Amino acid sequence: MTVRGWVSHLRSSGKIAFIVVRDGTGLLQAVLVKSQVTPEVWERFPQLTQETCVSVTGEVRQEARAPGGYEMGVTGLDVLGSSPIDYPIQPKEHGVDFLLDNRHLWLRSQRQVAILRVRHEIEQAIHDFFYEKGFIHVDTPILTAAIGERSGLFQTEYFDEGFAYLAQTGQLYGEAAAAALGCIYTFGPTFRAEKSKTRRHLTEFWMIEPEMAFYDSSDNMRVQEEMLVHIVRRVLERRRPELTVLERDVSKLERIKPPFPRIEYSDAVSILQKKGSSITWGDDLGAEDESLLVEDYETPVFVCNYPKQAKAFYMKENPADPRTVLCDDCLAPEGYGEIIGGSQREDDHDKLVERIKEEGLPMDAYGWYLDLRKYGTFVHSGYGLGLERTVAWICGNPHIRESIAFPRMMSRLRP
């Protein structure tokens, strides 16, 4: 066989040399025996350095002690691309800023490869989940004139149309698509210009946002629960080796089973106050509150029906308590915080107009959105799952920045 890849590790013991090659699919240990190769092949080994791109040819056999479980007896070796000896990332401790400055190279490390493989599996699991349920995937604009959330906006001039904003959510457009297709989901990048430096925040991240016609708030939470269970089972089934590399305690993931606890917001406030939190009724839950609330649970937890003033304008007023809206936050265990925010959408035209006015939003930007309540309004619900937070939780990453190939944060635009 011939394998092309990059040199991960090198060692030599005189007449035998070992090359660990990484080709993107895994690791292969290639063994050169001086007496079994030509002098030309043997003399190429000293040219090799970390990350040299090579082509190795030889017979492959199983070898349990070798990285990847296989070993190649090399008969041919060619250098396809040299690598200077000053490769920035060496097998030693590096500071986070240094590693982020060299993110384009840091991605090649075994841990980062494992994270990206888990991320890929999660993405594919999400697509498969919705495909099997008959949902239609809809792509929504990244440039928009309408504002979906209260958080900061990235603004740009848009020809003669005034200002456009980088989308905070695809939800508003997803609602229009749901009126055409029934159940849909969007999957794309979203942007928040919040000046936040916490381990849970990025300025650019990916969101999965289903919108479901004729689903109420209870139906909405059921779908969220089913999706998370599906994702975790899929990763446990197909990405065990990567979880081993990440030293993830898989027993904690194996406990993720339905049903998830559902806690009313008012009850959550009482629980938190008893645990020493200074939260008062009407406040949104902070990161510390979320961690406190889930510390007694092994599965994600739903917190339901927040106060109206703490949530977005499009959420349905709760008939049982008009001070609140029909919504939920899904909090991951182990202190990873909110990974999903969902709600039943306000389907009453006049109430939605009132909420837009209360928020001081430009009414003309929402004319088309109000049309959805004018021409055949319908009960519908949806949610947004933050992909990077979900990846961080499943991988056991302490910080969200490793959950995406090239993280964008307040102070980082490169590479």
- Residue 329: Cβ within 10 Å count: 24
- Residue limits of CATH 2.40.50.140 in the chain: 2-81
Residue 194 has pLDDT above 90, yes or no: no
Percentage of the chain modeled with pLDDT above 70 = 99
* Each residue's pLDDT tens digit, 85-118: 999 998 888 999 999 999 999 999 999 999 999 9
Kindly report the average pLDDT of the chain as a whole number. 95
CATH code given to domain 105-403: 3.30.930.10
For the segment 365-377, the average pLDDT, to the nearest whole number, is: 95
What three-state secondary structure class fits 57? strand
Structure-token pair, residue 299: 């599965």
Classify domain 2-81 at the CATH class level: mainly beta
Give the pLDDT confidence score for residue 3 in this predicted structure.
Answer: 97
Give the pLDDT confidence score for residue 408 in this predicted structure.
Answer: 96
For the segment 62-66, the average pLDDT, to the nearest whole number, is: 92
Do the beta carbons of residue 13 and residue 41 sit within 8 Å?
no
CA-based nearest residue to 6, from 82, 90, 70, 72: 82
Q: Confidence band (pLDDT; 50, 70, 90) for 148? A: low
Q: Confidence band (pLDDT; 50, 70, 90) for 242? A: very high
Contacts of 377 (CB under 8 A, 6+ apart): 347, 348, 349
- Residue limits of CATH 3.30.930.10 in the chain: 105-403
Q: Confidence band (pLDDT; 50, 70, 90) for 151? A: low
Structure-token pair, residue 255: 């406990």
Percentage of the chain modeled with pLDDT above 90 = 91
